[in-house]
Each structure stands twice: as C-alpha cells, then as structure tokens.
Amino acid sequence: MKKARLFVYIFVFLLINYSFSVAKDKLDISMKAYLVTFEKKEGKLEVVKKPLPKTVKPGDIIDYEITVKNPTKKVFKNVFIKSLIPEGTVFVENSQTEGAVFSIDKGKSYHKPPVKYTVKKDGKVEVKVATPDMYTNVGWTIKEMKPGETKKFFFWVKVKK
C-alpha cells in the first residue's frame, strides 16, 4: 500500500514538473488526483470523487484530472498534452476524455485505439491489439487554445492487486 501511495505522489510530481518545463511561461498545466467511489442515490449509481487519501489500496480507482489554462494573449495550436500511467496501476478502459491517444512504448509513439503492435512468432509477424493494461501513457492534442481559455482532460486508473 505504501508503494502505491509512493507511485501516485512520484507520478503527480513528475507530471507537473515535466509539464511546466515544456510549457514554461506559456500554458499553465496542473493535475489533481481523486479517489473514485460509487454511491447509490435515488436508485441510480453515481460517481463520487473524494480527495485522494494518503494510502491507496489494490482495487482503488484514481481519477487524474489535467487542467490546461492559457493565461497569455497568444493563440496556441496543436499542443500535445501527455501523462504517464503510473506504475502499480492499470488504465481503466473508456475512462478518458474523448480524443485520447495511447502509448505502449513509454511515450515513444501514440495511437488511437485500438492500439496495435507486432510480434514475431516462428518467423512470422503477427499483428495484435494492445489491452489497456499495456498502456504506459495517455495524451491529447489541443487543436486550438485561445487566450483565457481553460481545457480539462481526465483518465482513470485502477491500483493493481
């Protein structure tokens, strides 16, 4: 459990530091993490986001929310925002903001789902489809970001057992 907490804190620290170094003095990028729970209200199951506890446990779902703000008077085009999927967690399929692309090679390349890869077996090349547990990174392209505009992106991960 302490390892999972450490992974979460290191991940948030690295993402924020990386993001600020990439978009220094241009876009403000921040990230928050929440514990996702489900509660029944009026017969319907609702998602409830709570502050992330100091310790997470296997099976917990964490919601990562990335906020991008443009405090400048400049219009930005084709900005790529990316995030690691923390070690000790697995991406929750279909939990991301629309338009996401994924990497299975630690951010070297990104692809729209289904993410495909090749393997050699008995001298033959096979094309396979990556499963969400193989995703290492997630990203989005912001086509245009006007002055004063704010955009939000999110994805969920589940703490491994």
Q: 129: domain CATH number?
A: 2.60.40
- Cut 0.85: pTM above it: no
DSSP E strands, the chain:
28-41, 44-51, 61-69, 76-84, 89-91, 101-103, 116-121, 124-129, 137-145, 150-159
pLDDT bucket at 15, cuts 50 / 70 / 90: low
Structural domain boundaries enclosing 67: 2-159
pLDDT at position 58 is: 97
The number of folded domains in the chain is 1
pLDDT of 152 above 90: yes
pLDDT of 56 above 80: yes
pLDDT at position 33 is: 97
Write the pLDDT tens digit of every residue in 102-138.
999 999 999 999 999 999 989 999 999 999 999 999 9
As a whole-number percent, the residues of the chain with pLDDT over 90 amount to: 81
pLDDT of 31 above 90: yes
pLDDT at position 24 is: 53
DSSP, res 107: T
pLDDT at position 55 is: 94
Average pLDDT over residues 8-34: 66
pLDDT bucket at 23, cuts 50 / 70 / 90: very low
Judged by phi (left if over 0) then psi (alpha if -120 to 50, else beta), residue 6 lies in: alpha
Answer whether 66's CB lies under 8 Å from 83's CB: yes
d(CA 149, CA 47): 27
